Amino acid sequence: MINNNIKQIGLSGEKKAKEFLISNNYEIIKTNFHSPYGEIDIIAKDDETLVFIEVKTRSGDLDSALRSISISKRRKLSKTASYFLSKNDAFYDMFTRFDVIVILNEKSHTSLKHIKEAFVPTF
């Protein structure tokens, strides 16, 4: 029961992140892209840049959400992005960026923080 609740919270956060990106003129390319290395929540275009986006939904603070993206997680995201590019020639020569969107569910409201260039690829 708890795992389903956590999954629903995560899916809700990803939906809010996607709506935010669309309202800011991002083109959504793919959601929940899986590779042998892991998953990327959202892949989108921001003008001429392909953006790989990790979404974190938390009831805590921004710092704890960002700390949850460990070096190991960054490596998995980087390898998954590389895998995506190897399978999608149309995007191979584009500039790329790794962003994080944090959805903070607080008692009285929900806020969204978009951190562009949150980290550089780690292999």
Comparing 6-10, 12-16, 81-85, the range with the smallest average pLDDT is: 6-10
User: Is pLDDT larger for residue 74 or for residue 122?
Assistant: 74
Q: What is the pLDDT of residues 50-86, one digit of tens each?
A: 999 999 988 777 777 787 888 999 999 999 999 999 9
The whole-number average pLDDT for the span 5-13 is 73
- According to the model, what pLDDT value does residue 26 have? 98
> Which of helix, strand or coil describes residue 48?
coil
> Which of helix, strand or coil describes residue 116?
coil
Query: Is residue 2 scored above 60 in pLDDT?
Result: no
Give the angle 70-113-121 at the CA atoms, nearest 5°.
35
Sign of CA dihedral 31, 36, 5, 73: negative
- According to the model, what pLDDT value does residue 5 have? 66
What gap in Å lies between CA 115 and CA 107, rounded to an integer? Answer: 23
Q: What domains lie within the chain, and their CATH numbers?
A: 2-115 (3.40.1350.10)
Query: Is residue 120 scored above 80 in pLDDT?
Result: yes
Q: What is the pLDDT of residues 86-119, one digit of tens each?
A: 999 999 889 999 999 999 887 778 889 999 999 9
pTM here is: 0.90
Q: Which string of b and e fits 55-88 if b means at least 16 CB within 10 Å? A: bbbbeeeeeebbeebeeeebebbbbbbebbbeee
Is 98:118 a contact under the CB 8 Å cutoff?
A: yes
